[in-house]
């Protein structure tokens, strides 16, 4: 702390804070336009923040002058006022002042600052600069260049935060304007953030265009449930409809950014295709809307008839409370053991090892660690928001980034080292890394990665997919990350609340709190098999369509058609549910939900309802309690989501005593609560990793190795959001140019990809970075999804 004087008062603040921030310690506001710490170093572009510092003859920019001990600063004398008025007048010279038609009106820093610090007059009578307007910068963003005050925020964001390097300032002087360098639309996974960054109405959201004014709306804080990132959001609500999603800065989770799916897919809440009333399949095989009573009794009858032959699956934004209630019904009332929330099975022992509180890293650790290893995951697709966090760490804190993945990553350019392995060889490569870290013989790739991590420093964060499994714990131990603050594992689960669902016991081999079960049940793949052979007769699907979200589509088709009862809680009638469900309950949109989620780093967060339920919708916990009562689950009644949380907190020892109040608006990591000591210790033997086979991406003897990935845009919400329709992914096969040459294929050609008698059609997309011998297809699509294919080697031929 230092002491400086501002407007004649002594104020204490930390040293080297920029003056505009230090001034806040003395409750002095210095107006700014271009200053935004989230964008990195200040640029001093707008001159709005001029202040007088004694001893310096000229006025200084407060946003780029660090405060020093004994500094004497004035913000309230004539000289500063005149300068501020002049800057405002200057900024408004070319501004069209069309506030009444501008979407920023009412929440516009330029309005506020002109009102608060401007002179209220202009001497400029010459014609203003004119641009064509309004224009689409992209289908999501409208640009009005006349309103731009050239603060550089959007350009800096594109260049230094998202690093998509698309936005630039063209021309010079008064003729400057923001554009992409060759005029193509600005389409990027995180483009929407510039709408919130722009301090004027130059960049506005097209889906929100002219929808409401700030005094027409209410803000309602919640959490995005579309991916494990669980970014904090504020819904803009007007007339009980969500009209916009804004960031709700939480440095521990999202750092104040959102991806475009989180920002724009709210549109899917208010579309006609949404399921808003319970439905059952009638005599004619069609789903018909029915009353809740009828749907609940049909579901209860189906479940009771099946008894222990029920298989339950949960995915996407299923809350902890819902997951907990379903696992109770399945286990206690129906006596079944078959329930799963994971895409690929990871055993309880492995989960215990990788969820060990002593090994957990947090999201901010990615930014401050010495090194980050991204292992078998693609952040932008699997947990989008971390992509920006990793880029920030590398750019600003010189984090050494290592990437080990099958598919080339969008972060490769930032990585100090990236290695490729064969698709599906993530666990094997992790085992190689363990050997390398222990000094045992290993591959060169693994040794180079370990050397890089060791060289960088002790704080290493490993960001890895859940499917890598137990080797992660061994690797963390071998690198000495146990009990190190600021280092450890960050495991990306396969669905948005994957961590919460497994901790509340939605697993075949673990109960609430990852407690051991007497006899393990079937995992998802086995449930499919059992249902296909008739051993399981009722399937219960929460926010999951196996045809879309799980591997082995054909087996699931058999399973779903054979099952006598298929109960689905869903928002959209995707293929599997449309064709096979016997009872459909309307799931809630995430803006209607009330419950908690667990972030991959253990942070419990609250999802809070912003709007009432559409149509006949009801709270998930309410539907499940009703259903539970009907199938004979004897529980104290659940009357609010808080009661559901209390019951869950009783059952999960390491969540003990947690309440909605404690979680609050920012969430709380359970590892930081005293109850964390109740986490069951993993069996030490489970951490032993068998030596791995050779897993380089070398070409197989015949055919091509198939890898799959799920794009950030592959989700029913994106499909049903009119604004995002243009991003809806179509199947493409990514392959190396050398393989394409060999097969006589060219970019953009239609091909058939086949194996074991199954095939999908796709368009060839050549990517230089794909290792020869591997090809990549997308999962999670409505048509031609990669989960149709059943093997790991495929043939590709011209369609």
Partner 1 sequence: MTPPYDPGDVVEVLRAPEPGGAGGAYRAFGETLRGLKTTMKRMTEKPVTVQYPEEKYPVYPRFRGRHKLHRFEDTGLEKCVGCSLCAAACPADCIRVVAAENQPEHRVSAGERYAAVYEINLSRCIFCGYCEVACPFDAITMGHDYELSDYDRSDLIFTKEMLLAEPLERTPLRREGE
CA distances (Å), origin 554, targets 86, 309, 383, 594 = 70, 21, 28, 35
Measuring CA to CA, which residue among 548, 497, 544, 524 is closest to residue 778? 548
Alpha helices in 36-98 (DSSP H): 78-92
Select 34 or 309, whichever has its Cβ closest to ligand FES: 34
Examine residue 33 and tell whether it contacts ligand FES (CB under 6 A).
Answer: yes
**Residue 585, φ and ψ in degrees, nearest 5:** -105, 140
96 binds partner 1 (CB under 8 A): no
Residue 215 partner contact from partner 1, ligand SF4, ligand FES, none using kind-dependent CB cut-offs of 5 to 8 Å = partner 1
Residues whose CB falls within 8 Å of the CB of residue 747, separated by 6 or more in sequence, listed in order = 740, 764, 765, 766
Neighbours of 182 (CB within 10 A): 7
Using the rule CB under 6 A, is 230 a contact of ligand SF4? Answer: yes
Reference 557, options 311, 788, 337, 299; nearest CA is 788
Q: Which does residue 152 bind out of partner 1, ligand FES, ligand SF4, none, counting CB within 5 to 8 angstroms by kind? A: ligand SF4
> Order of strands across the sheet with 232-238?
218-223, 232-238, 241-247
Per CB under 8 A, the segment of 124-132, 212-220, 247-255, 512-520 that binds partner 1 is 212-220
Burial class (CB in 10 A: 0-12, 13-18, 19+), 389: buried
CB-CB contact of 421 with 407 (8 Å): no
Radius of gyration of the chain (CA): 28
Residue 216 interacts with partner 1 (CB under 8 A): yes or no: yes
The DSSP-derived string for 479-513 is: TT-TT-TT-EEEEE-SSTTHHHHHHTT-BTTEEGG
What x/- string results for residues 73 through 112 when contact with ligand SF4 is judged by CB under 6 A?
---------------------------x------------
Q: Is residue 140 part of the contact set for ligand SF4 (CB under 6 A)?
A: no
Binding test (CB under 6 A) with ligand SF4, winner from 43, 73, 88, 149: 149
Beta carbon of residue 184, minimum distance to ligand SF4 (angstroms, whole number) = 17
Piece of 221-229, 332-340, 400-408, 558-566 that binds ligand SF4 (CB under 6 A): 221-229
Q: Which is nearer to partner 1, 99 or 743 (CB)?
A: 99
Q: Is 550 in the site for ligand FES (CB under 6 A)?
A: no
Binding of residue 411 to ligand SF4 (CB under 6 A): no
Q: Which does 237 bind (CB under 5 to 8 A by kind): ligand SF4, partner 1, ligand FES, none?
A: none
Residue 152 Cβ vs ligand FES, minimum distance, rounded to whole Å: 9
Q: How far is the CB of 75 from ligand FES (least distance, A)?
A: 13
Only one of the segments 38-46, 318-326, 549-557, 580-588 lies at the binding site for ligand FES (rule: CB under 6 A); that segment is: 38-46
d(CA 353, CA 687): 7
Regarding 226 and contact with ligand SF4 (CB under 6 A), the answer is yes
Residue 538 has which token pair? Answer: 């009722």
150 interface partner picked from ligand SF4, ligand FES, partner 1, none, CB below 5 to 8 A per type:
ligand SF4
Residues 6 or more apart in contact with residue 695 via CB below 8 angstroms = 421, 422, 425, 428, 429, 432, 443
Question: What is the smallest separation between the CB atom of 150 and ligand FES, expressed in angstroms?
Answer: 11
Q: In the set 62, 134, 521, 697, which binds partner 1 (CB under 8 A)?
A: 134
Contact range with ligand SF4 by CB under 6 A, out of 145-153, 346-354, 390-398, 742-750 = 145-153
CB of 84 to ligand FES, least distance (A): 11
Residue 682 in contact with partner 1, rule: CB under 8 A? no
| 120 lines the binding site for partner 1 (CB under 8 A) | no
Q: Which of 63, 295, 361, 514 binds ligand FES (CB under 6 A)?
A: 63
Q: What is the nearest approach in angstroms of ligand FES to the Cβ of residue 365?
A: 31
User: Considering the rule CB under 8 A, would residue 213 count as an interface residue with partner 1?
Assistant: yes
Q: For the CA atoms of 452, 456, 457, 462, what is the dihedral angle to 10 degrees?
A: -60
Q: Which stretch binds ligand FES (CB under 6 A): 27-35, 338-346, 379-387, 657-665?
A: 27-35
Task: Give residues 41-60 in contact with ligand FES (rule: CB under 6 A).
Answer: 44-49
**What are the start-end ranges of the E strands in 416-482?**
417-420, 460-465
Residue closer to ligand SF4 by CB (options 261, 391) is: 261
The answer to whether the Cα torsion of 417, 188, 590, 523 is positive or negative is negative
Of 208 and 556, which has the nearer Cβ to partner 1? 208
The residue from 100, 693, 744, 757 that contacts partner 1 (CB under 8 A) is: 100
Token pair in block for residue 75: 């913000």
Taking CB within 5 to 8 Å according to partner kind, which of ligand FES, ligand SF4, partner 1, none is near residue 98?
partner 1
Q: Which stretch binds ligand SF4 (CB under 6 A): 14-22, 224-232, 498-506, 718-726?
A: 224-232
Region from 211-219, 220-228, 343-351, 617-625 binding ligand SF4, contact rule CB under 6 A:
220-228
Find, among 203, 182, 181, 206, the residue nearest to 193 by Cα.
Answer: 203
Are 508 and 530 in contact by the 8 Å Cβ rule? The answer is no
- Name the phi and psi angles at 75, rounded to 5: -120, -5
61 binds ligand FES, rule: CB under 6 A: yes
- Side-chain-side CA neighbours of 721 within 13 Å: the count stands at 30
To ligand FES, the closest distance from the beta carbon of 153 in angstroms equals 10
105 binds partner 1 (CB under 8 A): yes
Q: Which residue is nearest to ligand FES (CB)?
A: 63
CB hemisphere CA count around 455 (13 angstroms): 11
Which residues make Cβ contacts (< 8 Å) with residue 48, sequence separation at least 6?
Answer: 31, 32, 33, 34, 84, 87, 88, 91, 113, 117
In the block, residue with structure tokens 């001497």: 123
Closer by beta carbon to ligand FES, 47 or else 74: 47
| Least separation in angstroms between CB 199 and ligand FES | 9
Closer CB to ligand SF4, 48 or 530, in the complex: 48
101 binds partner 1 per the rule CB under 8 A: yes
Q: What are the Cα distances from residue 689, in Å, to 39, 148, 472, 692?
A: 42, 58, 10, 8
For residues 93 and 150, the answer to whether their CB atoms sit within 8 Å is no
Alpha-carbon distance of 755 to 775, in angstroms, equals 13
Count residues binding ligand SF4 (CB under 6 A): 28
Nearer to ligand SF4, 92 or 227 (CB): 227
* Backbone region of residue 505 per phi and psi (left: phi > 0; alpha: psi in -120 to 50; beta: other values): left
With CA atoms as reference, report the closest residue to 481 among 499, 503, 500, 463.
463
> Where are any strands of DSSP class E within 633-694?
668-669
* Number of Cα atoms under 13 Å in the Cβ half of residue 699: 14
Find which of partner 1, ligand FES, ligand SF4, none residue 148 binds, CB within 5 to 8 Å per kind: ligand SF4
CB 53 to ligand FES: min, Å: 14
**One character per residue 260-279, x = contact with ligand SF4 (rule: CB under 6 A):** -xx-----------------
Q: Which residues bind ligand SF4 (CB under 6 A)?
A: 100, 148-154, 178, 197-200, 202-203, 224, 226-227, 229-231, 254, 258-259, 261-262, 384-385
Q: Which residues bind ligand FES (CB under 6 A)?
A: 32-35, 44-49, 61, 63
Q: Which residues bind partner 1 (CB under 8 A)?
A: 98-101, 105-106, 134, 209-213, 215-216
């Amino acid at each position: 702390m230092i002491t400086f004087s501002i407007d004649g008062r002594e104020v204490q603040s930390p040293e080297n804070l920029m003056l505009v921030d230090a001034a806040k310690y003395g409750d002095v506001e210095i107006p700014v336009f271009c200053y935004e710490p989230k964008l990195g170093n200040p640029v001093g572009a707008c001159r709005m923040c001029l202040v007088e510092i004694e001893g310096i003859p000229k006025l200084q920019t407060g946003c780029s002058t660090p405060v020093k001990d004994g500094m004497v600063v004035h913000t309230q004398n004539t000289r500063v006022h005149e300068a501020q008025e002049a800057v405002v007048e200057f900024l408004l010279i070319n501004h069209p002042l069309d506030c009444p038609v501008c979407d920023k009106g009412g929440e516009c820093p330029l309005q506020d600052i002109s009102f608060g610090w401007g002179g209220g007059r202009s001497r400029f009578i010459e014609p203003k600069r004119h641009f064509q307007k309004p224009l689409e910068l992209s289908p999501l963003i409208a640009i009005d260049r006349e309103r731009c005050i050239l603060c550089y925020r959007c350009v800096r964001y594109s260049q230094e935060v998202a690093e998509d390097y698309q936005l630039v300032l063209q021309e010079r002087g008064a003729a400057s304007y923001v554009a992409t360098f060759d005029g193509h639309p600005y389409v990027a996974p995180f483009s929407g953030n510039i709408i919130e960054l722009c301090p004027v109405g130059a960049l506005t959201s097209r889906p929100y265009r002219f929808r409401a004014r700030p005094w027409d709306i209410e803000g309602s804080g919640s959490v995005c449930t579309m991916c494990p990132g669980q970014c904090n959001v504020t819904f803009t609500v007007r007339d009980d409809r969500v009209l916009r999603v804004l960031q709700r800065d939480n440095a521990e989770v999202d750092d104040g950014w959102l991806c475009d799916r989180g920002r724009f897919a709210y549109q899917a809440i208010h579309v006609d295709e949404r399921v808003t009333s319970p439905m059952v399949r009638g005599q004619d095989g069609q789903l018909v809307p029915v009353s809740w009573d009828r749907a609940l009794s049909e579901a209860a009858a189906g479940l009771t008839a099946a008894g222990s032959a029920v298989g339950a699956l949960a995915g996407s934004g299923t809350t902890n409370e819902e997951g907990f209630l379903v696992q109770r019904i399945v286990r206690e009332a129906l006596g079944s053991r078959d329930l799963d929330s994971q895409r690929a099975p990871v055993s309880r022992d492995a989960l215990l090892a990788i969820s060990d509180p002593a090994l957990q890293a947090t999201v901010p650790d990615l930014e401050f660690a010495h090194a980050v290893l991204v292992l078998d995951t693609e952040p932008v697709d699997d947990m989008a928001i971390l992509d920006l966090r990793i880029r920030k760490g590398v750019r600003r804190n010189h984090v050494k980034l290592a990437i080990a993945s099958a598919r080339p990553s969008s972060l490769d350019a930032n990585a100090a080292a990236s290695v490729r392995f064969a698709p599906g060889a993530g666990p094997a490569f992790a085992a190689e890394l363990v050997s390398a870290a222990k000094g045992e013989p290993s591959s060169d790739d693994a040794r180079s990665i370990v050397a890089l991590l060791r060289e960088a420093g002790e704080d290493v964060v490993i960001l890895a997919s859940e499917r890598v499994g137990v080797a992660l714990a061994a690797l963390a131990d071998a690198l000495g990350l146990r009990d190190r603050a600021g280092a450890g594992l960050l495991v990306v689960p396969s669905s948005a609340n994957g961590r919460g669902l497994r901790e509340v016991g939605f697993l075949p081999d673990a109960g609430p709190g990852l407690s051991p079960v007497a006899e393990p049940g079937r995992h998802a793949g086995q449930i499919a098999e059992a249902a296909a052979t008739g051993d399981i007769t009722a399937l219960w699907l929460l926010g999951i369509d196996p045809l879309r979200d799980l591997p082995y589509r054909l087996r699931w088709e058999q399973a779903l058609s054979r099952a006598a009862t298929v109960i689905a809680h869903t928002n959209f009638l995707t293929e599997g549910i449309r064709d096979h469900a016997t009872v459909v309950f309307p799931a809630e949109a995430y803006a209607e939900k009330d419950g908690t989620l667990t972030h991959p780093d253990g942070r419990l967060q609250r999802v809070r309802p912003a709007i009432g339920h559409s149509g006949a919708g009801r709270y998930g916990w309410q539907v499940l309690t009703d259903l539970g009562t009907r199938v004979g689950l004897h529980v104290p009644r659940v009357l609010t989501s808080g009661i559901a949380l209390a019951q869950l907190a009783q059952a999960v020892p390491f969540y003990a005593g947690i309440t909605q109040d404690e979680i609050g608006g920012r969430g709380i990591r359970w590892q930081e609560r005293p109850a964390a000591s109740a986490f069951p210790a993993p069996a030490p033997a489970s951490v032993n990793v068998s030596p791995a086979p050779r897993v380089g991406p070398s070409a197989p003897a015949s055919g091509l190795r198939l890898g799959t990935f799920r794009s950030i845009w592959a989700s029913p919400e994106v499909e049903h959001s009119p604004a995002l329709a243009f991003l809806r992914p179509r199947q493409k096969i990514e392959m190396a140019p050398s393989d394409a040459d060999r097969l006589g294929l060219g970019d953009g050609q239609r091909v058939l990809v086949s194996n074991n008698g199954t095939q999908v059609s796709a368009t060839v997309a050549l990517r230089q970075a794909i290792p020869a011998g591997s090809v990549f297809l997308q999962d999670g699509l409505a048509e031609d999804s990669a989960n149709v294919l059943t093997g790991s080697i495929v043939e590709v031929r011209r369609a």
